[in-house]
Amino acid sequence: MKFHLILYCSIFSLSIMCPSSSATYPENDDKTPADPYEINSHLFPGINLGNALEAPDEGDWGVTIQDEYFRIIKEAGFQHVRIPIRWSAHAEVDSPYTVEINFTNRIKHVINVALAHDLFTVINIHHYEEICQNPSAHKDRFLTLWRQISMIFQDYPPELLFEILNEPHDNLTPDLWNQYFSAALEIIRQTNPSRTVIIGTANWGGIGALSALDIPEDEQNLIVTIHYYEPFQFTHQGAEWVAGSDAWLGTTWSASLNQVSEMKNHFNQIKAWADDQNRPIYIGEFGAYSRADINSRRLWTGYVVNLCRQYNFSWAYWEFCSGFGAYDRTTGAWNTQLLGALIQTP
């Protein structure tokens, strides 16, 4: 992979290998839109750095991103990282909705380290709950956040991708979401005409709202993302934030004929839509919570990865080192069964 970047090496830890000795990013003069299928081919295997920058404050949910994580992820065989970010918690409530400079600098640093480790990087707006509850009151703020993000990263290389909003839901209905993401995309294209952008579905990012997604025909440099957590009573058993989920504890996934058939049917639905619309697909989140038994988690994860490989869908496992995590940051070791399911040789 060839990067068009020059990094602020002096701000990195000594373990970071910087690709250039220059002190600034060069302008990205290539304004030719990328081939989204080519970009998508670099997004697997991938992993989410979850429960960190999408918390109200980094560290609130137990994870603070360390520079060494990117080396660990790359050495394990991953090719990209998805970094969920709660921009809305670090911007003014009222116009002009300015993002805090310290937060912006932190995001820059994390992205710089990821790119320095030859990892394609996806950033998004994550956990903007207010816009899902009261879309009209937050539309201008949402669009202004994207105006700022787009300007901040306009000269970054094409290995950085923008994902417009994680899991729009509730009052941000499929119809409204079509309007809002189109407006955000217009703003992004003013400063990032050639950057590949990722768009997800309404109704929590799943398959159900895929048919309602209305993408402008003249916008070709897009990847469509789907989140896959089916069957939910298996993947979220015992999840503390899901009411009643303790009743699901003990749910297994054994790759039975019915279970595999159900999963294949889901992926066939996605594939049929993608072929009809001529859009590349990114399974931007999938995972099973750690309170499920490890053998079931390994089997389920491996089947998802195999179907992604079969259909040329890219993917990012949820997530690196928290409740769904494949890596134990306390022991400094990967869960070998999960890692084996994720990093498969063709």
Which positions are annotated as active-site residues? 167, 285
How is residue 222 written in tokens? Answer: 């897009």
